[in-house]
Structure 1
Amino acid sequence: MMMGAFRGFGLSLLTLAMLGGCATSAQNNSAETTTSASVTLAAPPSIGQPLTLKQIMANPDWMGIFAKGEYWSDDSQSIYFARQAHGAPIKTYYQQRLTEPSAHELALDQLHAASQQHGVLDFAKTRKAYLYQGNLFVKNLSSGQVTQLTRQNTAIDGVRFLSNGDIAYWQGDDIFKIHQGSGLLEQMANIKMAIEPKAVEAPSSYIAKQQHRLIEYVALQQESAIAKQTYQAQLAKSDPTLSAKTWYLGDKEVVSQLSLSPTGRYVLLSLRDKDYSWRAEHDIMPNYLGKDGYVDAVPVRARVAEDKHPGERLVLLDLQTRDKKEITIEGLIGFDEDVLAKVKAENAQAKGERYQSQTAPRKVQLMQDWGWSQSAIQWQPTQDKVAVMLEAIDNKDRWLATLDLNKGRLVTQHRLHDEAWVNYNFNQFGWLPNSDSLYYLSEETGYSHLYIKAKGEEATPLTQGKYVVSDITLGPKAQFIYYKANKQHPGIDNVYRVEIASGKEQQLTQWEGQLDYQLSPDGTKLLLNASRRTQPAELFVQAIGGELTQLTHYTSDAFKQYPWQAPEVVAVPSTHGADDVYARVYLPQGFDNTKVDKYPAVIFNHGAGYLQNAHYGFSGYFREFMFHNLLTQNGYVVMDMDYRGSKDYGRDWRTAVYRNMGHPEVEDLKDGVSWMASNVNVDANRVGTYGGSYGGFLTFMALFTEPELFQAGAALRPVSDWAHYNAPYTSNILNTPEVDAIAYERSSPIEHAQGLNKPLLIMSGVLDDNVFFQDSVRLVQRLIELEKPMFETAIYPVEPHGFRQPSSWLDEYRRIFKLFEQELK
């Protein structure tokens, strides 16, 4: 959702789109500065010296400027990546050969030849087409020669090779083909979202006929227009040099997605109402520090309470026969079920009404997956066979369906139904080459696993167990499917592969942390972006069956040499009927479990809700990691819980918060406090809590609904009312306010604010376009009207959801630390 996964401090290390900054060899471990941004690095912490907030919250470049956005070269012999100093406006790109000890920076005139990560291969796998700066390039894979095919200012949106070797690309709603033999550029389809102009016709009404009979000029003009129209029609039919006739699809919709078949015969379109927008209809976000000295009105997203998604519909165009088919959804199993009947009945009863269930076609759209890069439309690699993944706008169903191109009908191959909501992760799928078999991920057993389904047969699971499979990759010979899974421990990732024919699995890495992987084009090596608890992510290469080799060394000596405390990952028993709750625990320096004076403690609540932080990798919350080390140096125990709703623990853990956000999680926090009191000598009456985004929301809910659990709390960029958050995230968990007001009132902190009786610190960025500043404003006014004196606020006028300025981070955490020192000691 929102939160932790999109936080600004997480972005500075984790986002693939960043990286760059200053040119430095892979062997240079020192802290670096950049000429592209005027930043000053704080002095790194000295070994044996206590940490300071100014060091922790400073420009993070002192930790190292890390490699991100990594990918393989086409020959599998080198990798490309980028780096970007904190606050720098540009990226710097690098190439590192596997045989060399360090990377070299790519010059600007080399970038076009390196930007091939998302290219497509021809059917013989001898050529690769890709886009760079919106233009089309083709690379001969044997010789390495790169040829630029377009040079224009209007960007190309997508490209594919056709089965006859020609190259097709689409630009807006137009599709073009470059003939490989002659180089001829042909427009295959001209699609206009407009009403087709009316043909000139002979007069039909009395008045029109009279006009033509009496006025010779009018009659001549009409005859000329009809003759010209007839000639153009004959010419278009007979002249092979002309481009294809325009498709007019009406003026009520826009093209959401376009996909061309391998032969170039079919175009599958997803259309959406043109009047729909994710932006708020009548709202803005005021920027009080506009560059011209005035208040700038910044557009913002719509709230879930007002976002009325119209769904999408599919249209199939046959470019050969010029036949257009409107694809209906009757072929989707459960397409008209009233899946929210129980929820609607409960809400109706609460209002003294009765709900009568009725069936009706549901709104659907192409599956929106937040963790993938593939299209939800997948053609069989060499044939005109297509599979689509669709989701219901009500979030209860995901369908994998094939499309009968002759009849224009969807055929359900797999339906994933969830009474809570279908996960927006774990939706990868594709075709096995030269077959009618599909492979896909599904959470139907409660955990994401890999399946194969042949046409007309039941699906076969290739993985099974209480662990999560993700990031699947079909090997270059389609013998294996590679995947990432947390089999050993929910917080430990490794790479595996399964042989499709036999189902035999093999573990390929032995890593004690978190990682992402990419299979080399030749299928012989893995590129890993991997981290451990106190080691930020670096790049590694491992040959299949070989040794692991570290490629990059960008972590600074200052960071590596400091004695960071590695948090212990513990399993906290649940007293609320759930499985064990995994948590990170940081112990105070000189910890003594028999100490008479018990320790104060702090529980950190991670953001995003659906996010994992109690793992064995380096945390995306790197500032919090250092802050927790600082707290231990000041005598605190710190716990960081993966409460219910968190990622990578299976479907039931994820959906425990359905229609009930903030309540199961607080139960887990209660168990965390009890565990610390029983196991690490914590005084249960001296525990505070804090967190940002979803973590700020959870801080509210803990202090409002369990007012004796914590003695103080700090809520950063917090949600106070879910009706004001966005639709894609919130409607999954709480449905929509008009359908399920009960869930929103149960789950929104502003509805429980009367429970506050302990000190609360509220901190928000004025320019937060994710969780609006208004959330904090409304809650503050509510607390004022409730006559609650025990809260304070801090505002940050230039900050978005994820803070960017070190000075803002420092101010924020000084206030948090002061709160805990005052209230817990």
Structure 2
Amino acid sequence: MKHLSCWSLALLTASAFAQSVPKPTATTAASPLTVETIMQDPKTWVGTSPSNPFWSDDSRTLYFSWTPPVNTDKAKSDSLYKVTFTASGKDNSAKGKKLVASQPVKVSPSERRALTTGPTTAYNQSFTQRLFERQGDIFLVDVRSGTIRQLTNTVEIETDAVFSGDQQRVVFRRTGSNLFSIDLKTGLLTQLTDFKPGAKKADPKLTDEEKFLKQDQLRLSDVLAERKAKKDAGERISKADRPKRPKEIYMDDKQVAGLQQSPDGRFVTYRMTKSATNAKTAQVPNYITESGYTEEIPARTKVGAPLASQEFFLYDVAKDTVRAMSVKDIPGISDKPAYLKTVSSSAKSDTAKKTRPVTISGPVWSLDGKLAVVTIRSLDNKDRWIMRLEPETLKLTLLDRQHDDAWIGGPGISFASGNMGFLGDNQTLWYQSEADGYSHLYTINVLTPVLKKQLTSGKFEVQQVQLSKDRTQFFLQTNEVHPGEQHFYRMPVTGGERIRLTTMVGANDVTLSPDETRMAIRYSSTNHPWEMYVADVPQSSISISKKQSAQPTDVQNAAVKLTDSPTESFKQYPWREPTLVTIPARDGQPIYARLYKSTNPSGKSVVFVHGAGYLQNAHKWWSSYFREYMFHNLLVDKGYTVLDIDYRGSAGYGRDWRTGIYRYMGGKDLEDHVDAAKWLVQTQGVDAKRIGLYGGSYGGFITLMAMFTTPDVFKAGAALRPVTDWAAYNHGYTANILNEPQLDSLSYRRSSPINFAEGLKGHLLICHGMVDVNVHFQDAVRLAQRLIELKKENWELAPYPVEDHGFVEPTSWMDEYKRILKLFDERL
């Protein structure tokens, strides 16, 4: 297959399978799957699963976004539905009362507008009042009576509302950069900060000559001297009578963020961020526009570009002063990254011993307002410090330091402060850390840091944490039963026995009711999309110290299914449940994978590579790659054996697996795929000369690396929206894994497929959206030119002019996957 001229644009019009796509018809039990069927609009084919659940304040009604399979109102987007609950009668199969749920009912527009749940919520300490926001205004609801009080009604937008430490005021941020408060008794509105854009205009300075003339004139004229004295006295009186206002703080060319008032009202903490002035932003050309002209879409900077700088400040209201926090004495703040020992001397000299730039999150305050904790991260993301902050002195005391020669990450850790808070004693801080290799829950006494305790341990991850309202127990989501399962637990705040509250095999994404007696469970299995269930929080269940596979009868019977989302057409096909297998890697580590086996295997095999950004796909729930899942069923119908693996770098397996790609993408992650291909040949009867692979984004990158650097393993590959040169990708993701290109050029050289294009032997398909603002189309264009110059003929590039990184149009999906299927059918 020869490459077409330029970027094979002719593929868009001339190819036999790029002609107008016929309208898909419903699949029946007797008809095979087709690309047209599985790539059509998922709302009309698969159905729309429930999402975004939330409870009424009285815990009696559950709301969620949903579109039923029979959409009578022809809604073009999800609608809001509700289910109400009662507990009546005796349930013979389970002890106690049986949970009774109404049928899902669509919420009317008027009822929806009156709901008390907005984009954010905040409770008072006794959980009797709650704040919410609607259309940029702030409201207060009495949880018991349901009474609503509107606190603001302005054209400006008020956000981030919280109760003050004394619970008597509501503190919020108004459009711009300032904090305000409203007294709940008097309604008094008070401005707490006065940030002003630009720089303060300095009073004109007098020259020495001007000063002399002024003093001499006052010496010579009693009238002028007397008038000046009266004027100065008047100004002093006026200043004394003037109401106290917050200090004017000029932002210059910076932006303010993270505004927070201390519980006692004494301090306001905030961050000032200055954007890098010389960081160039890439532009993405958009050719298909309403105007008929090519338009440019501002995208992002590239890795290694100058970063924004940040400082942390404290405004002392009582003293009317502003102070900056110093970080120069933080333990290890000047440590050089370990990788610099292996790079060139010029790079080392550029990073002489100096204070590393950091970002500061928080503070997190104890309920009594006496203790504050901040989280500090180095911008190279190799250190995270949790430190006690003493506002009076800005003194920092180390509580916990997590260091990683690669990068800090993992569930509950990756962003800002991470999961963190105080227990009821107002001294004990809980947080998550990967200190032992997996994200686990810890506590530490802020006043006595030696009193540190690890509450969970083992080769699993704590993925979500919620402290109960009485602060006596944690509600946790973990994958301890199996890396591919998610279950919900409760555990005392002191640690010890964890009680499993969910039982269905798959993913159990739980939203607790406000009174913590009911669980809304968004659940899915491998071959069935997400549905909404509800169950009472059991008072007794099975602990993880007992047999984990056991399913407590009272929980099993209590779960009530609320929705049935797939369409009848979708249900008619017998969707397969892939087998979860473990494959031995060359270094002895187990690779978790999904295996799809055909009843009539042909010896052909396709390996799917999921994307990155810390993602998992070898699991027991409905995949976010549902189109690919359906495509794999189609391939199996045609005799293919299909495998997709959670390679090095995937989520769900702890720190070492996550960082296994550090400084070498296309190293262990590609080796895992090569080892998986070998396993297919040795155990599944696959022909070693008939293996292909495909994937998008990071999956496209791995496909390129495989086709270029292990060309004898994979005969054909489809690289979708692939990264071809990591030096062209963004900073936040890439710098964690490969450091910066100007400091660690070796990592970028060996990790970028464009450097190995000469190794291509098999047949390669590249598909890329032309308005991709994540992985720019430029990546594909540069690789195309490289392949042209290398005189390679066994490749093609299909560009999609209206598609971003994630395709939207069904016709684009159909065209792309027809090409993939044609590639494998012809070349394998």
**Would the alpha carbon gap of residues 298 and 227 (structure 1) be closer, same or farther in structure 2, given more than 3 Å must change?**
farther
The answer to whether structure 1 residue 542 and structure 2 residue 532 are counterparts is no
CA distance in 2: counterparts of 1:157 and 1:225, whole angstroms: 47
CA distance in 2: counterparts of 1:452 and 1:163, whole angstroms: 23
Q: 2:202 aligns with which of 198, 203, 207?
A: 198
The corresponding residue for 1:582 is 592
Report deviation, 1:535.
Answer: 0.9
The corresponding residue for 1:412 is 398
The corresponding residue for 1:485 is 478
Q: Is the 8 A contact 2:287 2:295 kept in 1?
A: yes
Report deviation, 1:215.
Answer: 12
Uncovered stretches (5+) of structure 1, i.e. residues with no partner: 1-39, 368-375, 592-597
**Would the alpha carbon gap of residues 724 and 196 (structure 1) be closer, same or farther in structure 2, given more than 3 Å must change?**
same
The answer to whether structure 1 residue 387 and structure 2 residue 373 are counterparts is yes
CA distance in 2: counterparts of 1:222 and 1:567, whole angstroms: 95
Q: 2:422 aligns with which of 431, 434, 440?
A: 431
> Which deviations, in whole Å up to 9, do the C-alpha atoms of 1:424-447 show, x marking residues without a partner?
632211111341111011111111
Q: Which moved more, 1:131-140 or 1:615-624?
A: 131-140
Secondary structure in 2 aligned to 1:682?
coil
The corresponding residue for 1:401 is 387
CA distance in 1: counterparts of 2:822 and 2:350, whole angstroms: 56
**Would the alpha carbon gap of residues 419 and 759 (structure 1) be closer, same or farther in structure 2, given more than 3 Å must change?**
same
Q: Is the 8 A contact 1:492 1:513 kept in 2?
A: yes
1:146-545 → structure 2 map (5 Å cutoff): 146-164=148-166, 165-171=168-174, 172-198=176-202, 203=206, 205-207=208-210, 209-210=212-213, 234-239=237-242, 242=243, 244-275=245-276, 281=280, 283-306=282-305, 308-338=306-336, 340=337, 342-348=338-344, 358-366=352-360, 376-423=362-409, 425-427=411-413, 428-455=419-446, 456=448, 457-501=450-494, 503-545=496-538
**Would the alpha carbon gap of residues 617 and 197 (structure 1) be closer, same or farther in structure 2, given more than 3 Å must change?**
same
Q: Which moved more, 1:811-820 or 1:517-526?
A: 517-526
The corresponding residue for 2:82 is 95
Report deviation, 1:537.
Answer: 0.8
The corresponding residue for 1:801 is 805
Secondary structure in 1 aligned to 2:49?
coil
**Would the alpha carbon gap of residues 234 and 175 (structure 1) be closer, same or farther in structure 2, given more than 3 Å must change?**
farther
**Would the alpha carbon gap of residues 219 and 392 (structure 1) be closer, same or farther in structure 2, given more than 3 Å must change?**
farther
The corresponding residue for 1:646 is 650
CA distance in 1: counterparts of 2:228 and 2:613, whole angstroms: 65
1:702-713 → structure 2 map (5 Å cutoff): 702-713=706-717
Q: 2:583 aligns with which of 556, 572, 576?
A: 572
The corresponding residue for 1:559 is 570
> Which deviations, in whole Å up to 9, do the C-alpha atoms of 1:489-548 show, x marking residues without a partner?
110111112111352221111121123222222122222211100111111222121422
User: How many residues get paired?
Assistant: 760
CA distance in 1: counterparts of 2:114 and 2:354, whole angstroms: 51
Secondary structure in 2 aligned to 1:599?
coil
The corresponding residue for 1:594 is none
Report deviation, 1:660.
Answer: 0.6
CA distance in 2: counterparts of 1:152 and 1:88, whole angstroms: 32
CA distance in 1: counterparts of 2:223 and 2:537, whole angstroms: 79
Secondary structure in 2 aligned to 1:521?
coil
The answer to whether structure 1 residue 72 and structure 2 residue 55 are counterparts is yes
**Would the alpha carbon gap of residues 637 and 328 (structure 1) be closer, same or farther in structure 2, given more than 3 Å must change?**
same
Q: Which moved more, 1:577-586 or 1:770-779?
A: 577-586
Amino acid at match of 1:556: T
**Would the alpha carbon gap of residues 391 and 185 (structure 1) be closer, same or farther in structure 2, given more than 3 Å must change?**
same
Secondary structure in 2 aligned to 1:378?
strand
**Would the alpha carbon gap of residues 439 and 230 (structure 1) be closer, same or farther in structure 2, given more than 3 Å must change?**
farther
Q: Which moved more, 1:437-446 or 1:75-84?
A: 75-84
Q: Which moved more, 1:507-516 or 1:810-819?
A: 507-516
Amino acid at match of 1:259: Q
Secondary structure in 2 aligned to 1:541?
strand
Report deviation, 1:786.
Answer: 1.2
CA distance in 1: counterparts of 2:344 and 2:285, whole angstroms: 38
Q: Is the 8 A contact 1:136 1:156 kept in 2?
A: yes
**Would the alpha carbon gap of residues 275 and 645 (structure 1) be closer, same or farther in structure 2, given more than 3 Å must change?**
closer
The corresponding residue for 1:20 is none
Q: Is the 8 A contact 1:194 1:248 kept in 2?
A: no
Amino acid at match of 2:433: S
Amino acid at match of 2:814: L
Report deviation, 1:487.
Answer: 0.9
Q: TM-score with structure 2 length normalisation? A: 0.87
Q: Is the 8 A contact 2:276 2:307 kept in 1?
A: no
The corresponding residue for 1:31 is none
Q: Which moved more, 1:721-730 or 1:401-410?
A: 401-410
Amino acid at match of 1:105: V
CA distance in 1: counterparts of 2:478 and 2:370, whole angstroms: 33
Report deviation, 1:110.
Answer: 3.2
1:752-771 → structure 2 map (5 Å cutoff): 752-771=756-775
Secondary structure in 1 aligned to 2:210?
helix
Secondary structure in 1 aligned to 2:479?
strand
Q: Is the 8 A contact 1:766 1:796 kept in 2?
A: yes
Amino acid at match of 1:59: D
> Which deviations, in whole Å up to 9, do the C-alpha atoms of 1:567-610 show, x marking residues without a partner?
111001112x141101111112445xxxxxx5100000001152
Amino acid at match of 1:730: T
Report deviation, 1:665.
Answer: 1.5
Amino acid at match of 1:360: K
The corresponding residue for 1:602 is 606
State the Cα RMSD in Å.
2.8
The corresponding residue for 1:19 is none
Q: Is the 8 A contact 1:344 1:355 kept in 2?
A: no
Q: Is the 8 A contact 2:195 2:251 kept in 1?
A: no
CA distance in 1: counterparts of 2:471 and 2:386, whole angstroms: 21
Q: TM-score with structure 1 length normalisation? A: 0.87
Report deviation, 1:229.
Answer: 8.2
Amino acid at match of 1:580: P
Q: Is the 8 A contact 2:179 2:259 kept in 1?
A: no
* % identity of equivalent residues: 35
CA distance in 2: counterparts of 1:556 and 1:676, whole angstroms: 35
CA distance in 1: counterparts of 2:622 and 2:357, whole angstroms: 41
